[in-house]
Amino acid sequence: MADAASSTAGRRVRASDDVEVSTYLGIAKERSAPQVDRPVVTKVHDEAIVVVDFGSQYSRLIARRVRECHVYCEIIPHDAPLESLKHLTIKGVILSGGPASVYEADAPLIHPSILASGLPILGICYGMQALAHQLGGQVTPGAHREYGHAVLHQNTPDHPLFHGLPPSLPVWMSHGDHVATAPPGFRSLGYTENSPIAVMGNDKGVLGLQFHPEVVHTPAGKTIIENFLYKVCGCHGTWTPGNFIAENTQEVRQRVGDGRVLCALSGGVDSAVVATLVHKAVGDQLTCIFVNNGLLRREEPERVLKTFRARNDLNLAYVDATEEFLGNLRGVTDPEEKRKIIGRTFINVFEREAIRLGQVDFLAQGTLYPDVIESKTSESKASSKIKTHHNVGGLPEVMKLQLIEPLRYLFKDEVREVGIALGLPEEMVYRQPFPGPGLAIRIIGEVTAEKLEVLRAADWVVMDEIKAAGLYRQLWQSFAVLTDSRSVGVMGDFRTYGNVIAIRAVTSEDAMTADWARLPHDVLARISSRIVNEVPQVNRVVYDITSKPPGTIEWE
């Protein structure tokens, strides 16, 4: 990486410089998944995989890998019964890893309904150990902990799980305990130097992996997961954008009936896809509302209105609620309280508009799966709440409007695929995510009109230089943060005491994890120079080099 970085330093990085740009930003290129014949169906939940969360940092990544294989899945807590998923036709279960040891008194266990289901099961790391422990095997602390790369050697190369793979392959380990004795009816399917039973299985499709196939450090991991889905569980891969659109259009149409729908339209890809999908389902029964909350970026209200008013078939209303939002945020410094206030204020605005428009029954909004997961509305006790999303935990307990959230179980990249399938323009589909609470969570401390103008000016510079360098589509997000710090500086031989702006740029696949982007130094230099020269209230610029975890993408 150092060699690649030095070769591109001191010059502009163009969008065509794929290798250099990717190296700078820490983007890992993955091989394409093998082609699989997938039938076209209208009910995508006719096959689903359940991911059971035991508190692993990789649980969400497992779900993404399953979705990438065009198989629908949902994550449930370890103590949830399968009966809670009656809306799904379950084809198999994947047990995640976790931080506990199965022989501890309060260790989380696999729900009996899963073990009694007769479904194929794939236990990963702790999931494998829980299978062994509960089915009569023995799990003990390992004589040698195994973290990082290892080489897996197959005992049964003809097993469906290893179809198309060589007898030995590199894998990624992260464990201190190991399966010392396999349960009755199980045999070792693979071993590493420190794990005699690195893979185990029986003749009923119950399998365990001591390594993590979901991480990129296991190069053949996606193939192993795909083999489990297709060759063990018998999935066909019906989770596609076209099938999703067909099913959800029908579901929205049936639910709304003769009712009317409001859609919270922000201009981002999530709300744009929701608006297009709901409009496809109910047509003129939909009215989109763009609320200017005063927390948007420079010229954003004008751009959003211009874009969506160009669509003559879309009913669009504009509400300027700047004073209401800023008034409700006055004196508030706590990030969680900011999010909740913004969520409640949005709902108040929408409910007033519903009254103005007449009888409106539903509110459509672009809630995504990461919003639900991080707000921990239905997650495992083993997982922690990260923050309240304004459109999930920030909503009031009692609402007059019924929510329609067709994207609630999609990751961002899946939303973009749906957007393209719906015919939305690429510049809209691939717009970087912008948080629902807007600039309020990029201002540390109280939000004021004066601070907003400072941040807008600095953020304008960041976006201008990122786009000029051809980096916009390479980054998940890039933006400025107005910190609550001030610093001493000197300009024109005079002492200054100004604001500190932090620059944040990250790469990610789904926002559940993210790495800080290795931006070229000349780009950072231009951003810093322009901000301190063009924004009078700022005299210092810093760059945030924190990944997620331990940090979050946004500062609040």
Q: Where are the extended beta strands (E) located within 390-444?
A: 402-404
- Token output for 74: 């949902």
Q: Would residue 45 show up in a list of annotated catalytic residues for this protein?
A: no
Asked if residues 265 and 290 have their Cβ atoms less than 8 Å apart, the reply is yes
In CATH, what is the architecture of 43-232?
Answer: 3-Layer(aba) Sandwich (3.40)
Q: Which of 69, 125, 235, 263 is catalytic?
A: 125
Mind listing the pLDDT tens digit for each residue in 306-342?
888 887 688 999 999 999 999 999 999 999 999 999 9
Residue 264, Cβ neighbours under 10 Å: how many?
22
pLDDT of residue 105: 87
Mind listing the pLDDT tens digit for each residue in 258-271?
999 999 888 889 99
For the chain, the average pLDDT equals: 85
Mind listing the pLDDT tens digit for each residue in 37-86?
433 333 556 799 999 999 887 888 899 899 999 999 989 999 999 988 88
pLDDT band, very low/low/confident/very high, at 144 (cuts 50, 70, 90): low
- Which amino acid does the sequence have at 26? G
> In 3-state terms, what secondary structure has residue 367?
coil
pLDDT of residue 398: 59
Q: Would residue 212 show up in a list of annotated catalytic residues for this protein?
A: yes
Name the nearest CA neighbour of 504 among 551, 538, 457, 446: 551
User: Using CA atoms, how far apart are residues 365 and 392, in angstroms rounded to an integer?
Assistant: 10
pLDDT of residue 34: 38
User: Using CA atoms, how far apart are residues 354 and 501, in angstroms rounded to an integer?
Assistant: 39
- Which range, of 392-406, 473-487, 498-512, averages the lowest pLDDT? 392-406
User: Using CA atoms, how far apart are residues 225 and 206, in angstroms rounded to an integer?
Assistant: 14
pLDDT band, very low/low/confident/very high, at 401 (cuts 50, 70, 90): confident
Question: What is the C-alpha R_g of the chain?
Answer: 25
Confirm whether 43-232 and 241-429 share one CATH topology.
Answer: yes
- Which range, of 196-205, 262-271, 365-374, 425-434, averages the lowest pLDDT? 365-374
pLDDT of residue 39: 38
Q: What residues contact 35, with CB distance under 8 A and at least 6 apart?
A: none
User: Using CA atoms, how far apart are residues 487 and 504, in angstroms rounded to an integer?
Assistant: 19
User: Using CA atoms, how far apart are residues 438 and 443, in angstroms rounded to an integer?
Assistant: 10
pLDDT of residue 293: 95
Residue 332, Cβ neighbours under 10 Å: how many?
16
Asked if residues 56 and 97 have their Cβ atoms less than 8 Å apart, the reply is yes
User: Using CA atoms, how far apart are residues 269 and 33, in angstroms rounded to an integer?
Assistant: 26
Please determine, for residue 394, whether its predicted confidence score (pLDDT) is greater than 60: no
Please determine, for residue 478, whether its predicted confidence score (pLDDT) is greater than 90: yes
pLDDT of residue 374: 60
pLDDT band, very low/low/confident/very high, at 146 (cuts 50, 70, 90): low
Q: What residues contact 458, with CB distance under 8 A and at least 6 apart?
A: 480, 482, 501, 531, 535, 538
Name the nearest CA neighbour of 63 among 53, 71, 73: 73
Positive or negative: CA dihedral 517, 522, 523, 525: positive
Residue 116, Cβ neighbours under 10 Å: how many?
9
Residue bearing tokens 């990122």:
466
pLDDT of residue 373: 67
Please determine, for residue 447, whether its predicted confidence score (pLDDT) is greater than 90: yes
Please determine, for residue 515, whether its predicted confidence score (pLDDT) is greater than 80: yes
User: Using CA atoms, how far apart are residues 135 and 167, in angstroms rounded to an integer?
Assistant: 28
Q: Would residue 125 show up in a list of annotated catalytic residues for this protein?
A: yes
Q: Between 32 and 515, name the one with better pLDDT.
A: 515
Q: Mean pLDDT across the stretch 191-210?
A: 94
Asked if residues 91 and 178 have their Cβ atoms less than 8 Å apart, the reply is no
Cis peptide before 549 (omega within 30 of 0): yes
pLDDT band, very low/low/confident/very high, at 303 (cuts 50, 70, 90): confident
Q: Which of 47, 68, 146, 214 is catalytic?
A: 214
pLDDT of residue 509: 77
- Which amino acid does the sequence have at 58? Y
Please determine, for residue 421, whether its predicted confidence score (pLDDT) is greater than 90: yes
Please determine, for residue 376, whether its predicted confidence score (pLDDT) is greater than 70: no
Please state, in angstroms and as integers, the Cα–Cα distance from residue 492 to each residue in 140, 529, 540, following that order: 68, 15, 15
* Sequential DSSP letters for 245-295: HHHHHHHHHHHHTT--EEEE--SSHHHHHHHHHHHHHHGGGEEEEEEE-S-
Give the helix/strand (H/E) hosting 371. helix 369-375
What is the DSSP code (8-state) at residue 170? E
- Of the candidate CATH numbers 3.40.47.10, 3.40.50.150, 3.90.1210.10, 3.40.50.620, the domain formed by 241-429 belongs to 3.40.50.620
What is the CATH T-level fold of the domain 1-29+448-556, as seen in this structure? GMP Synthetase; Chain A, domain 3 (3.30.300)
pLDDT of residue 469: 97
Domain regions of the chain by residue span? 1-29+448-556, 43-232, 241-429
pLDDT of residue 399: 67
What is the DSSP code (8-state) at residue 443? B
